[in-house]
Amino acid sequence: MEETPVVLESPTLTTPPQFSDLVRATQFGRYDECKQYLEENLFDVNQRDLENVTLLHWAAINNQSNIVDYFLSKGADINAIGGDLKSTPLQWAARQGHLAMVVLLLKRGADYNIVDGEGCNTLHLAAQFGHTPIVAYLVAKGMDLDRPDTNGMTALMWSAYRVSKIDPTRLLITLGSSLKMADYQHKNTALHWAVCAKNLTAITLLLEAKADVDIQV
């Protein structure tokens, strides 16, 4: 009589969660999954990935407001510097044009005057990338229109050089940005930068605002 072989079930193998799993959950807005990882003390809320980026950065750049709120409630550093450009979560949100996220982070205490690895504060970044609503909000919250970056570039200079649309250049002019300030290295005013970029829209706006074409700096 043949014996029936005994078949043992293979044990279920579970792969421990990796920090990259939490990063992906953050990026895709999977709130419950993020909460589970942190509530079970599997990871620290201020832990960084291989790019030296925090969870709060990833939540901010992906406009995940509820996850940002949760991470902050768990002690996330709102002004953490991370990534290749050494930026804060607020700066990441401003670059992407996420106005609601910018509003949220400022309400929770983010510092808009921190400069990134390229010497720019939050207003400079919003102007560079043409995010007019964010420019308007930051100025309304008290940011200095003419505060230069570490190279002497103002928000108006950046907008005149980088943005071909009417705004935020028009807005910055209307709000009283200096037309005479020049950057430190090239000694260019906003009008000079508009000419360098062949930005006809900005050139027209600046000339209409009586920018001095003969200014010597």
In a domain? residue 88: yes
Query: Does residue 135 lie in a domain region?
Result: no
- Please report whether residue 94 resides in a domain: yes
* 43-91 pLDDT tens trace: 999 999 999 999 999 999 999 999 999 999 999 999 999 999 999 999 9
Q: Does residue 64 form part of some domain?
A: yes
Asked if residue 150 belongs to a domain, the reply is no
With contact defined as beta carbons under 8 Å apart, do 121 and 106 qualify? no
Whether residue 73 lies inside any domain: the answer is yes
**CATH code where residue 73 lies:** 1.25.40.20
Domain that holds residue 73: 17-111
Distance, CA of 111 to CA of 103 (rounded, Å): 12
Domain count, the chain: 1
Note the pLDDT tens digit of each residue in 145-187: 999 999 999 999 999 999 999 999 999 999 999 999 999 999 9
| Residue 216, domain member (yes or no) | no
* Residue 121 domain flag: no
How would you label 24-36 residue by residue, b for 16+ Cβ within 10 Å and e otherwise? ebbeeebeebbbe
Overall average pLDDT of the 108-131 stretch: 99
